Amino acid sequence: MNEDIEKLIELTTIIKVFDNISQSVIHGGENYVDRFNQAHSHVFQDKQHNQTDLSDLEKHWENKWQSLGDSWSKKIQNYQFLYDSFKLFYVSFQQVKLNKELSITTGDNHKKEIHFNELSGASLYGMYYHGNKCVKLLNQLKLINTNHPKSNFLKKFSETRNTLVEHNYNPTVRNNEKRQKLNLQIDPSIWSLVSTGSLMEISIHGTAEKVFDAYIDYYEDYYDLEKIILDIVRLF
């Protein structure tokens, strides 16, 4: 397998890679069931995987504010940043879902389909941006439980944002404490999310165009990070 592809699989939330040269799946399963389809028992009725109710977290945040006291400190400010960033992460995904579903249900109105699809793409960008900020703040506040079964996922979420979504025009990956440049061009189809699934295709160009097609499940990425943050906040 290509060494750079191996690094991407190891360090990001990629769940499937198709090699267009050998015409074979080289990572992940052929029949992966994405989170969007798991969540919808019938068209757009999400009964199993709703986002949490933010109002249920307020009592835990109130406990945290009381424990920190009234005097301003950098620590208090970082908790405020975490509070705000989680809400922005939450709302960004909420908008991904809303606009994705609207783009699918516009029928023959191609202009509306394109409009909602672009809104969904912009919101997905925000989801990874604000989610990554949450991860940084969790580390800054030393709130990460290294024994949490999903603790390694936090690094993968951030690397997905950094390498596949944000800096894909100049892709690098972590190599110990440094960044190592990849001999690849990474082309996420972030503006083409209109489908009845939650896998985003990422075209990877090497010595030729679209040598590999990789996929991330952005629903799975959201719910995994939401769960980790909820586990932390509910202990406040």
Q: What was the pLDDT predicted at 39?
A: 59
Closest among 65, 57, 89 to 232, alpha carbons compared: 57
Contact between 13 and 153 (Cβ < 8 Å): yes
Who wins on pLDDT, 39 or 15? 15
Banded pLDDT at 112 (limits 50, 70, 90): confident
Please state the rounded mean pLDDT for residues 75-83.
Answer: 97
Q: What was the pLDDT predicted at 101?
A: 86
Global pTM exceeds 0.85: yes
Contact between 51 and 94 (Cβ < 8 Å): yes
Domain-wise residue ranges, the chain: 3-32+56-233
Q: What was the pLDDT predicted at 216?
A: 94
Instruction: Give percent helix, percent strand, percent coil of the chain, each to the nearest 5.
Output: 50, 15, 35
